[in-house]
Structure 1
Amino acid sequence: MSDLTIQQLAEAYQDYFSVGHSISINVQPVDGPLPDQQALLSAIPAPFMLATDVNSLNSSALRSLNRLGELADELANYLQQQARKIDLLLHYVLRQQDDASSRFSTLSFGGSGCSYIASAPLQPLQVVEVKLFLDNNEGAVFCYGQVLSCQPHAGGYLVQLVFSRIREEDRELLVRASLHQQSRLLKQKAEQRQQASADNQH
């Protein structure tokens, strides 16, 4: 995915589901062509690598315990409490990576890319360094993206980014996070409908 056309980027943007939701991101333009996969791995800050490893270790440990049945409940609770402590510490460390000068909030995000309001215009196909900080200590992702489109918008410029160079485990993390957010939104809408229905009956 080094020399993509706008059409190819547009198709890549559609590869995965995205959800309308605001998360904190850092976006920094990169001079030159899209870095290769090896350059990405070399550039990822240690806290981002650690966050992904911890998330996968927690998930696999809890899956193993689920096979043990009821006897594992107390052990699972203990492990979840320990994992929560580590998550809080990791969250603090990751936030040190959050650069206020390049911070924006997404309008939408998913496994393929994100959209946000930028303060200055970016050229289509421009390569950018992206840091995404997920809600609820769900992790953080470092990747390289490319600008699919940039249009004037109230208060700035509406930018669509495609994640052109990203680790597969990080893409999976973004896919899971977007699906979790979608399920939360659907649950909220269902609860609001139930509440409205109950109010109408009174």
Structure 2
Amino acid sequence: MSDLTLKQLADTYQDYFSVEHGININAKAINGPLPSTAALDAAIPPPFLLASNVNSLSGSALRSLNRLGEMAEELANYLQQQARKIDLLLHYVLQQQDNANERFITQSFGASGCSYLANTPLAPLTVLELKLFLDNNDGAVFCYAQVLSCEQQAEKWQIKVVFTRIRDEDRELIVRASLHQQSKLLKQKAEQRQQHSSS
């Protein structure tokens, strides 16, 4: 996926749903063409790789417990507590990768891309190095993206970007995080409707 046109970027942006929610990201414009997949693999900081590996290992370990019968629940609880400790430690390590000078908060995000407000505009097709820090210790993602659009909003600029170089497992991580956030929002709306109808 290199030398994409704006039309191709727009089509890619529609591939997955996005949810309106703020997560911390770091966005840094880089000069030159979109890096290759091999360049992405070489550029991913070790803490991001570690977080990704831990998430997949925890999931597969808990799934295999289903075959153990009645002892599985106690063992699952123990493993979840251990995983929680590791998550907290990883969360701290990942926060050290968060550069305050490059930090923005998303207006929306999904597996195709995200949008955020910035003080300065970026030209469409500009290549960005992105770090996404997902909520609830869901991990973090390092990828490359390109600017789809840049529109003025009041005194800021809304930057919409498409993830153009991203590992499949990281895209899946964002899918899970966005689905989790969407289910939380739907639950909140249902509770609000219930409160209105009972009052």
**TM-score class normalised by the smaller sequence:** over 0.9
Letter in 2 for 1:34: L
The residue number in structure 2 matching 1:115 is 115
Identity %: 71
Q: What is the CA distance between 1:70 and its match in structure 2?
A: 2.4
The residue number in structure 2 matching 1:37 is 37
The residue number in structure 1 matching 2:73 is 73
Q: What is the CA distance between 1:118 and its match in structure 2?
A: 1.1
After TM superposition, the score normalised by the length of structure 1 is: 0.97
Aligned positions of 1:173-188 closer than 5 A: 173-188=173-188
RMSD: 0.7
- Partner of 2:124, secondary structure, is coil
Q: Alpha-carbon deviations, 1:44-83, whole Å to 9, x = none?
A: 0000000010000000001111232321111100000000
Letter in 1 for 2:154: A
Letter in 2 for 1:41: D
Farther-moved stretch of structure 1 (43-52 vs 65-74): 65-74
- Partner of 2:16, secondary structure, is coil
The residue number in structure 2 matching 1:137 is 137
The residue number in structure 2 matching 1:191 is 191
- Partner of 1:135, secondary structure, is coil
Aligned positions of 1:57-68 closer than 5 A: 57-68=57-68
Q: What is the CA distance between 1:177 and its match in structure 2?
A: 0.6
- Partner of 1:9, secondary structure, is helix
In the comparison of the two structures, how many residue pairs are matched? Answer: 199
Give the Cα separation in 2 of the matches to 1:167 and 1:30.
19
User: Can you give the 5+ residue segments of structure 2 that lack an aligned partner in the other structure?
Assistant: none
The residue number in structure 2 matching 1:152 is 152
